[in-house]
Structure formats: C-alpha cells, structure tokens
Amino acid sequence: MTISFSKALGVHEQALVLRTQRTALLANNIANASTPGYKARDIDFQSILSQASNRNVRSVDVAKTNARHLGGFSLSTRAEAMYRVPTQASLDGNTVDEQIENAAFARNAIEHQASFQFLNSKFTGLMKALRGE
C-alpha cells in the first residue's frame, strides 16, 4: 500500500509554503517603509490556498534508482503578489503603513508556526503508524 502525501499531509504543506512567501513580502514592506515611491505588496492567502488545494499540483519526474523508492513530488504553489490599497498614502508615494505591516507580520508568524506544528504532528503520526506504535 502506498502513502499519498497529499492526502496524509492535507493542506498544511501548502499553507507552510504560502506563509513563508508571505513572510518575505511583509518583511520587504517593513524594510522599505521609508523608501520614497515604494508600493506595499501582499498576497490573498485564503484564495491562493484554496486554489492550490483544488489544483493539487504535485508532479515532477524523479529518477528512481530502486523500485522500492518513493516517487518525488513538488509543490508548485506560487503566490501572485498584489499591491496593497493604502488607507492613506504618504506625500512621497510610499504606501507602507508600518503598524498594519507589523501586525500582519506578527499574525503571519503565529500562523506559520501553527502550520509547522500541524505538519510536524502529521509526520509524527505517520512515523508512529509506520513503526506500528
């Protein structure tokens, strides 16, 4: 019987990848808070995650050197960054609101950790099942 990682891990793998991408975007926004003309960007996490879960894009050819090796899979979920609509743009054209960005970054960090813990518990459960515990 083969293990289907997409069924075993659920949406947590894709969520972790998207949270990591969002962390980079939010960090860029915070770093460029005083850069004239910088436009804040973000992703629509919920819609991208639901699209990624529905598509289930996990195919890549991996060379197997033994018939007992598991086939590889690749998560090709890539988020399209969109420009954030500012509540009030600054005079220099910068659209970063540091308080909003810091709050979004903190929330994303907590949700990233939660996704990681869910994924870790899935792997722990799989390992126990394989060991017969």
Q: pLDDT digits over 78-93, tens only?
A: 568 899 888 887 899 9
H/E run at residue 105: helix 98-131
Report d(CA 93, CA 105) in Å as an integer: 22
Report the chain's mean pLDDT, rounded to a whole number.
80
pLDDT of residue 125: 85
> Cα–Cα distance between 78 and 108 in angstroms, integer?
17
83 bridge partner residues = 41
Q: What is the pLDDT of residue 99?
A: 94
To which residue do tokens 């850069």 refer? 35
pLDDT score recorded for residue 94: 94
| Predicted TM-score of the model (pTM) | 0.70
Asked if residue 98 lies in contact with residue 30, where contact means CB atoms within 8 angstroms, the answer is yes
